[in-house]
Amino acid sequence: MENMELRNDKEVKQMSFLQRVIGVIVSPKKAMEAIAQKSDILYPILAMLLTTPIFYLIRYPLFEQMVKTKLENTPQAAQMTPSMISFSTKIGLITAPIGVIIMWIVITFIFWGILRIFKGEGKFKQYLSVTGYAYTIVIISMIVTLIASYFTGSLILDTSLASITNLFAPDLKGSFLYGIIRGINLFSIWQFIVYAIGLKVVSKLSSAKVYSVVSAVYIVMILLSANSLKLS
């Protein structure tokens, strides 16, 4: 048994970067063990800085239209000229990835803080590493959305439960409940499951504690975003 554990430890330590990234998708527990042993935040930072702008640049006309639509719903819309809208679009390419990185750090800090209260182990960099690698799921959702955009003509792909609700209860749209349902996204659920797997490895806490914390944070995030999502 000891020899087997030694072999497994050696295998985890020798996991390459590509194996880690692919492992997040196909074997998250094994990948997170490797990531926790050798923390890496360079990949998450580069992924967050580059993927969003690249995603929007590939379909820039759709991105520009999306920004324009959002701006039209603001009180300042009447005063905005086409050049101002174009400038806002370009600024969005810069601010979007920065916002993603800030959100990553904040949510990781929340996880770290709560799990430390429960006597969880691990350094903050390890927490950043496992949650950062979980961003791979977001990249997958971007790729799927990008492909779908050539058929839908939109950079918004609804993978939430609202897509089903619209068929059976269309009158719910605009309500707070609809916003909650709209927030339950298949890719975000997947991402938070990977969060939980990685956080359990780092904190060395029980599955019950870690999954409860991750679920609670996910629910709070959905509730906080419900008002903004109820009309989308």
116 inside domain: yes
Residue 195 dihedral angles phi and psi, to the nearest 5°:
-50, -50
193 inside domain: yes
3 inside domain: no
8 inside domain: no
Rounded Cα–Cα distance for residues 82 and 193 (Å): 42
pLDDT one-digit tens code per residue, 196-222: 999 999 999 999 999 999 999 999 999
Closest C-alpha among 19, 230, 224 to residue 136? 19
pLDDT given for residue 23 in this prediction: 95
What is this structure's pTM? 0.86
Q: Which residues of the chain have pLDDT under 70?
A: 1-14, 73-79, 162-171, 230-232
Number of structural domains (the chain) is 1
159 inside domain: yes
6 inside domain: no
47 inside domain: yes
113 inside domain: yes
- Where does residue 44 rank: exposed (0-12), middle (13-18), buried (19+ CB within 10 A)? buried
Rounded Cα–Cα distance for residues 128 and 113 (Å): 12
Q: Which domain holds residue 144?
A: 16-72+80-229
Closest C-alpha among 13, 14, 35 to residue 24? 35
Residue 135 dihedral angles phi and psi, to the nearest 5°:
-65, -15
Q: What does the CA dihedral 92, 97, 98, 102 come to, rounded to 10 degrees?
A: 130
